[in-house]
Structures are given as C-alpha cells and as structure tokens.
Amino acid sequence: MPAPLHEAHPSSPGRRLPDTQQGMRRRNLARVMHTVNAEGPLSRAAVASQIGLTRAAVSTLVDELIRSGLLEELGPERPGRVGRPGSALAVSGRGPAGIGAEIGVDHLAVCAVDLRGAVRARAVRHGTNRRRPPQPVVAELSALVEQVVAKAESEGLWPAGLAVAVPGLVARDARTVVRAPNLDWHDIDLGALLPAELALTVDNEANFGSLAELWLRDDTPLDFLHVSAEIGIGGAVVVDGCLLRGTRGFAGELGHVPVRPEGPACACGGRGCLEQYAGEEAVLRAAGLTPGVDRVDVLAGRAAQGDEEVRRALRDAGTALGIALTGAVNLLDPQAVVLGGALASLAPWLLPSLERELEQRSAGRACAVRVSRLGPEGPLLGAAHSVVRAVLDDPAAVGTRA
Amino acid sequence: MPAPLHEAHPSSPGRRLPDTQQGMRRRNLARVMHTVNAEGPLSRAAVASQIGLTRAAVSTLVDELIRSGLLEELGPERPGRVGRPGSALAVSGRGPAGIGAEIGVDHLAVCAVDLRGAVRARAVRHGTNRRRPPQPVVAELSALVEQVVAKAESEGLWPAGLAVAVPGLVARDARTVVRAPNLDWHDIDLGALLPAELALTVDNEANFGSLAELWLRDDTPLDFLHVSAEIGIGGAVVVDGCLLRGTRGFAGELGHVPVRPEGPACACGGRGCLEQYAGEEAVLRAAGLTPGVDRVDVLAGRAAQGDEEVRRALRDAGTALGIALTGAVNLLDPQAVVLGGALASLAPWLLPSLERELEQRSAGRACAVRVSRLGPEGPLLGAAHSVVRAVLDDPAAVGTRA
DNA sequence: CTATTTCGTCATGGCGCTTAACAAATTAGT
DNA sequence: ACTAATTTGTTAAGCGCCATGACGAAATAG
C-alpha cells in the first residue's frame, strides 16, 4: 500500500518520504484530478497547460485515471474557437463515493457523496442520543450506513471510506472519541464498533464543518476562521486551505478565550470566558429560557417573532463574540470570519453587535464576516467530502474497483 | 485508505509548479543539504538511509553539491563499527553566506552567516535613528554591508543575498516599508536605496526574530507563539515550522488583542488593548518613568535593583500578557509560548504573573512558556539565516560561484 | 590471515516526462 | 469550395533521474 502523499514544505528537515519517480507520478495524477474537479469539464490540452505538463504526459495520466474509473470522457467539446475541439473530461459520477456520517445530540445522519460533490444518497434518524451508551447508537448508525451504501452501490458507486463527525474531542488516531460531554461518552473507540470494511476517519464536527465551508463554496477564502456553536463554541482555523489542528488537536477552542478577565467563573478554571457570554447555556438563560429544556433553535424562533428579551440576549452574545474574534483576527489576519452551525441561523441578531465590536476595535481594517450557507449540514457534508478529497489527493491509492 | 486530513496541501487547486524530473532533482538536492545541515557530519550512506534514496543516487547528488561548493568532504570517519568507514560530509564553511541587516531604532547592525550557521563577520553602528530620513540611514547601512561582505569574502565566502529586519510593517513585495512608526518612515522602497547586486528581502523584525527562534535552537518546537516587544507588541505564529503571515501580512499582531473590553481607549480605535497594559509606553508610565526618555532596558535595571514600583508595573504587564496569551493559546494550541526580544530580559519579573494567568485559565493543560536565549540578537540572526535557509531550500538556484 | 560488514562507485535498466512529428477536426480567408 | 492556419490527441524517440546489482576498498571479528 502506498504511503500518503506529503506535500513538501522544504523548510521542514530531512525525514520525509523520498522524492521518487512513483511519487512524482502520484502527485501528477492528483493534480490532474484536482484540476478537472475544480475547473469543470476540461480537455487534455487545457489540463496540460493548467498544470504545466505536456499534452503527451497528461494523456497518459488521463488514460490511467479513466481506466481506474476516476475520470470520464464526456465526448467532443462544442467548438467555439479555431482548431480541433478537445474531448471534455470530467470527474466520474460512477466511481468511488465518500460516506459521511454524523452523530448529533438529537439525530444521526449518513450520506454518500460522489467525486463530483453531488449527494447521491442520505438517511437520517431523529431522536435524542443524550446520555445513551455508545453501542446502540453506533449500531443504529451502522444500519444507516448500510442503507446508504446499498443505495450508492445501486447507482454504480462504491464506498471509498467512512468519515464520522462527532460532537466532541477526538484523539489523534482519528478513531477514538476522547470526550463528548453532551453524549456523556469517554474514550470510545469507534473503530471497534463500526464495520471494518470501510476505511474510517473520525473527527470533531466543528472541524468537518469548517472543511465543508472550505470545499463547498466557490468563493470561500483559503484563510478563514470558522465559528460554530454546537457544544460550547467550536472554532476552527483554516490557513492556506489547511485545517490547523494544534499540537494536541485542541486548536480552535474559542469558547474559553477571556472576554472579561474578571467576569463570572467558568468551569475551565478561568473567569469571563466567551462561553459565559455566548455559550448555549448562557444565552438561553439570559433570554429567560431554560437550558436543558429549550435548545438553540428556540432562540431563532423567538427572535424572529420579535421577542425583545431574546434579541437583547443575542445582541450581548454578539458583542462578546465580537470581542473574542477581535483578538483572533488580530492574531491570524484571516480573509474572513465565517459563522456556521447554529450561529448561522442566529446571525441576523448576532451580526450587528458583533460587527460593530470588530470594526471599532480594528481601526477600519476589520475583516469580513460571513454567514455559512451550509448551516447545520456542514459537518455531515464535510465528513463525506473529506473522503472524496482523500481520493482526489491520491488517486493512485484507491484500488481499481471500477 | 484516506490520507489524514491535516496533510491536505494537495487540496489547494491546480496552479503550482509542475512536478517534473528537474523539480524532483532539486527537491532531493535540498533534502540532502537539509539532512547534512541538521544531523551534523554524515556519510553518503547515512544520508541515503535518512532520506530514503539509494546510495548511488545520493552519490550523484552529493557530487553535484560539492562541485557547487555547498558541501565539503571532511575525510574518512572514525571507524567505530565494523565495515568500511564512510567519508564525512559537512555543509561548506566557504560557500555562500547570508547577509543579515537590522535597522533598529537605536542602532544599525549587519552580519554574515555561513551555511553552517556560524557568524563570520559583523558590524554595528550605535546612535538613534528616530525620525531620521531613510536615505542617510540606509546609506550608513550600505556601508556596513560593504564592510561585512568584504570581511566575508576575505574568508572565502560569497554573499548569497541580503535580508533586512525593520521595526515596522513591510509590504508583501518584501521590499517596501509601509509604516515604521518609531522611525517615522512611510512607504519607503528599500530596494531602490540599497545596492542592487544582492538579492534583497525585507521583513518585520518580529518575524525574523521568531524564525531565528525556530532555526537556531535545537529544542524549539515546530508550533509556537513568539512574543516580542520592540514596537508595540509583536507576536509571530509559527505552525509546523512555517511562519504564518496572514492575508495582509498582519498576522501575529498581539498588541491590539482586547484584554479588558471596557479599558482605556487605544489609538487603534478599540479599548483595553494589550498594548494599554503591556506596551512599552504603558509599562514605563506605570513604573513611574518617562516614555520617550527612558527605554525598556532601564526597566530591567531598576527591577534588578529591587525597585518595587517597576516590579509591580511588570507584574501587571505579565498579567495582561497572560490574559491575551490565554486567548491565543486556546485558539492555536501551540507547543510553547516563547518570550523574545526585549521581553526576554524582563522575563524574571513578567513570568510569575503571566504563567499564573495562563495556568488558572487553562484548567491544568497550560502550554509551556519559555524565554528566548537569543534576546535582542534574534532579528539580525533570523535575517541572515533566512538567506541561508533559502540556499538550503533550493541549492540548485544559487549559481556555481565557488 | 580470512570471513564479514559496510562504504562508495559503476554499469545497466526502468520509469516518466519532453520533444518532435503527424493525423484529425475545426475555423478563417479567398 | 478549397486551401491555409490552428488546435487537439497520439505516437515514437530521447533524455534525465533513480533503482538494482555487482564490484573493489577499507574497516572489524574471529
């Protein structure tokens, strides 16, 4: 089995996979896939000029990718210009599929995404998973996965891997859920509970959500700060198209950034953390609702109806978010801040105060704040797409199961 | 099997330098240089096993590097083990040299560093540059550069490039000083004022300082947050051995992270920015000294003598730093925080309160705080080394001027 | 003194891209 | 309508670069 590709930061010292001819081939296969995927149907000649190889070289690469079922020949292009028209190539709609799954507090969801990014199958089960033990939950999830895989296979796809988004911290092995407070799970190895046929990746839902934002929108910048609020306040930092994970995998923890250093005590040991002002519990309480009974979605409803108490609570949360984000923006200088997850639906009431803080504190050069269009779909889609990206990143690694 | 998510660089779309055989060769030359540089004198066989190529391949690479004057053959290794002893290879001490320069508020400095990292020549001129126009300052700097280059050449070195550290913001062209408040320079193109023979790079002193920290210490982690205080409070974020610059090059601006959102107004438009508590001016004032007359170095002296007013001012600054750093550490999860520049000498009085804030607010999992050993030398050394790194990163790019 | 181990080099070969030439398919010009 | 020009995709030859395998050289172990 070939080792995963590693892109060369020349600065990092010696120990890396050798730069051999096979590696070069694999990287060029990946470049062809990425180019065709990103730039829509393209002729071999167009691909060649895009990636800087000759037409001859691209021809052999494309042949190999077509034989593997990863690319498809759509037929001759409509000739608009002088010269022989090219033959349009597209990423295959009947090759490998990425299976994404989400373990939410109130639902389970699974979907299959093809190489083109289209969702080809889905399955959802509603019902709370709060404090349910892992085994039955994962058993239900497995059943949904089977359904979705069956549907995908009936459409000529084959599953290339399974990625699971969970509302909690995941170990660096990408299999073990270290801590999921809302599920009350601790050190659960999902690899042992899920069918072993599929290559498995587990990650935090906020991470998958931010990757979805990165991959699924044409105009999303390569440097941004993604803020969501499912459990606590999950941030994610994307730099140059890469998710920043931190040494222990904790990067992006916006919830415990100090907002008012002498503010109310927080469970983390600090005082005045963002979570004390913009966390689900704090906002519900400030809005006169009951945490644990009411949930975030109630807020959007009440606010839309004009409930002034709720609106004030959201304004204050926006202010606190703005203060915390000012620090983050100063530190990272991203192209944009993206509000995702539950925050997306609350954006109309959060944004004004949030943006005001950000602008006042940034001397005019504030960075853009955007609202995710994906909203709560982000983590699931991000998970499925992560499998697809892995195929695009190393097409040679997937078997020729066409 | 899907590749781990964090390796994602191939994800960034098509347009990159083509993966051709020459590119492969160049990358392998770089890998040999990096390995020999990092692991001390090494035989060809040792290099081969380190980077995963065959001895034969490494032999041809080494030959080429020796012909270019970048590597040297030291002679047979002392045979400790069975078998024919290898021939020790070392980075050349008589090849290219990196010329580093620093434009400080109170001094100019230039040095030459060889590929081994040894400083082979230096020149300094003391005297304030506050509000002096750029032309005479740069003329003096050019004279120092000439001196240093002459000295280096007399030792068999040749200058591979010039890197200049400035106390201000530098445009992305790496030539133009956009704004240097303490010098009162605005939009100065240093490329036009310096001799054109040498390849020029200009960057912020905090950036070079953090790179020095990364490159010059054996035990420095690859992910850290560097904090210095020359102009304002310059931070720098290093992730995976790469300096994070941000979209506009502003990344690392720690000075305007909000510490107390309702605190004193700041020139940036915000309130309670870190600079209001831990900036040079604020600390001097809190210590009963006069900003503009006294400077940072006075603080260390007074504090060492036991001046309680100064010590309290530094404790408070440490607290503010701790609060701001808590946010940054939460967001980035670095391996360590490094205090550099002027902060290094003040560390004894800053650290206790700084670490206390960090620990209390991080629920036990606080990240390590270290003090730079480089101190004020950081920017100059970082500049010179940046030229050296450029040679190591692409040995084929330097002419065979041996 | 011989067997063994390791190093560096050489000749051979395979792999992957480039170069150059060509047939095919279209547009532009007369 | 017919030719010239242009662009595409393929093919064969060539070259660069690394791998393989064999060899002599230089050390240790017995």
What is the mean pLDDT of the segment spanning B256-284? 93
Looking up residue A68, the CATH number of its domain turns out to be 1.10.10.10
Do B205 and B236 have their domain in common? no
Do B46 and B158 have their domain in common? no
- Inside any domain, residue B11: no
Closest Cβ opposite residue A8 in set B27, B327, B367: B27
Q: In a mutagenesis test of the A interface, which of B259, B268, B331, B393 is the best target, namely the one with the most A β-carbons within 10 Å?
A: B331
Structural domain ending residue among the three candidates B34, B57, B91 = B91
Burial profile A107-143: b = 16 or more Cβ within 10 angstroms, e = fewer: ebbbbbbbbeeeebbbbeeeeebeeeebeebbebbbe
By CA distance, what is A204's nearest residue in B? B5
- Inside any domain, residue A9: no
Q: What is the pLDDT of residue B399?
A: 65
What is the mean pLDDT of the segment spanning A120-140? 95
Tell me the percentage of chain B whose pLDDT exceeds 90: 77
Alpha-carbon gap, residue B100 to B384, rounded angstroms: 4
Identify, with chain letter, the residue nearest to nucleotide D19 (CA–C1'). Answer: B54
CA A25 to C1' D12, in angstroms, rounded, equals: 21
Alpha-carbon gap, residue A350 to A86, rounded angstroms: 50
Do A111 and A157 have their domain in common? yes
Do B194 and B134 have their domain in common? yes
Do A197 and A70 have their domain in common? no
Structural domain ending residue among the three candidates A91, A121, A138 = A91
Do A277 and A202 have their domain in common? no
Cβ-defined contact of A242 to B361 (cutoff 8 Å): no
- Inside any domain, residue B65: yes
Closest Cβ opposite residue A239 in set B1, B239, B252: B239
Do A254 and A384 have their domain in common? no
Is the pLDDT score of A306 beyond 60?
Answer: yes
Q: In a mutagenesis test of the A interface, which of B224, B333, B389, B393 is the best target, namely the one with the most A β-carbons within 10 Å?
A: B333
Highest mean predicted confidence (pLDDT) among A230-234, A355-359, B280-284: A355-359
Structural domain ending residue among the three candidates B62, B91, B120 = B91
For B341-369, write each residue's pLDDT tens digit. Answer: 889 999 999 999 999 999 999 876 789 99
- Residue A40, min C-alpha distance to chain B (Å): 12
Question: CA-CA distances (angstroms) from residue B174 to B105, B237, B352?
Answer: 20, 18, 38
- Inside any domain, residue A3: no
Give the contacts of A212 (CB within 8 A, at least 6 positions apart): A374, A377, A378, A379, A381, A382, A385
- Chain C: positions less than 7 Å from a protein CB are 4-11, 14-20, 23-28
Does residue B85 approach strand D to less than 7 Å at its CB? yes
Nucleotide nearest to B18 (CA to C1'): C17
Give the contacts of A345 (CB within 8 A, at least 6 positions apart): A297, A300, A375
Q: What is the pLDDT of residue A234?
A: 83
For A154-195, write each residue's pLDDT tens digit. Answer: 999 999 999 999 999 899 899 999 999 889 999 999 999 999
Q: What is the pLDDT of residue A362?
A: 86
- Inside any domain, residue A16: no
Do A390 and A343 have their domain in common? no
Q: What is the pLDDT of residue B6?
A: 29
Query: How crowded is residue B218: how many other Cβ atoms within 10 Å of its Cβ?
Result: 5
Give the contacts of A193 (CB within 8 A, at least 6 positions apart): A134, A135, A138, A139, A142
Amino acid residing at B394: D
Domain housing B156 = 96-211+379-397
Do B178 and B71 have their domain in common? no
Looking up residue A184, the CATH number of its domain turns out to be 3.30.420.40
Closest Cβ opposite residue A326 in set B248, B258, B330: B258
Residue B161's closest CA among B395, B400, B383, B378?
B383
Query: Which of the pair, B239 or A362, is modelled with greater confidence?
Result: B239
CA A47 to C1' D2, in angstroms, rounded, equals: 34
* B127 burial level (CB within 10 Å; 0-12, 13-18, 19+): exposed
Alpha-carbon gap, residue B305 to B311, rounded angstroms: 10
DSSP B182: T
Does residue B24 approach strand D to less than 7 Å at its CB? yes
Q: Give residue A295's pLDDT band: very low, low, confident or very high (50, 70, 90).
A: confident
Question: CA-CA distances (angstroms) from residue A376 to A116, A203, B179?
Answer: 21, 16, 43
Instruction: Decide if A70 contacts A95 (C-beta within 8 A).
Output: yes
Task: With beta carbons under 8 A apart, name residues in chain B contacting A216.
Answer: none
Do B45 and B138 have their domain in common? no
Do A293 and A317 have their domain in common? yes
Cβ-defined contact of B52 to A27 (cutoff 8 Å): no
* A302 burial level (CB within 10 Å; 0-12, 13-18, 19+): buried
Q: How many domains does chain B have?
A: 3
- Residue B90, min C-alpha distance to chain A (Å): 15
Instruction: Decide if A263 contacts A309 (C-beta within 8 A).
Output: no
Do B169 and B244 have their domain in common? no
Write out the two tokens for B25. 């060769």
- Inside any domain, residue B6: no
Does residue B76 approach strand D to less than 7 Å at its CB? yes
Amino acid residing at A234: G
- Inside any domain, residue B1: no
The residue to which tokens 């010179």 are assigned: B384
Identify, with chain letter, the residue nearest to nucleotide D6 (CA–C1'). Answer: A83
Is the pLDDT score of A328 beyond 90?
Answer: yes
Is the pLDDT score of A1 beyond 50?
Answer: no
- Inside any domain, residue B4: no
Is the pLDDT score of A370 beyond 70?
Answer: yes
Q: In a mutagenesis test of the A interface, which of B7, B11, B335 is the best target, namely the one with the most A β-carbons within 10 Å?
A: B11
- Residue A249, min C-alpha distance to chain B (Å): 7
For B2-54, write each residue's pLDDT tens digit. Answer: 333 223 333 343 345 678 899 999 999 999 999 999 998 999 999 999 999 99
Q: Is A263 helix (H, G, I), strand (E, B) or coil?
A: coil
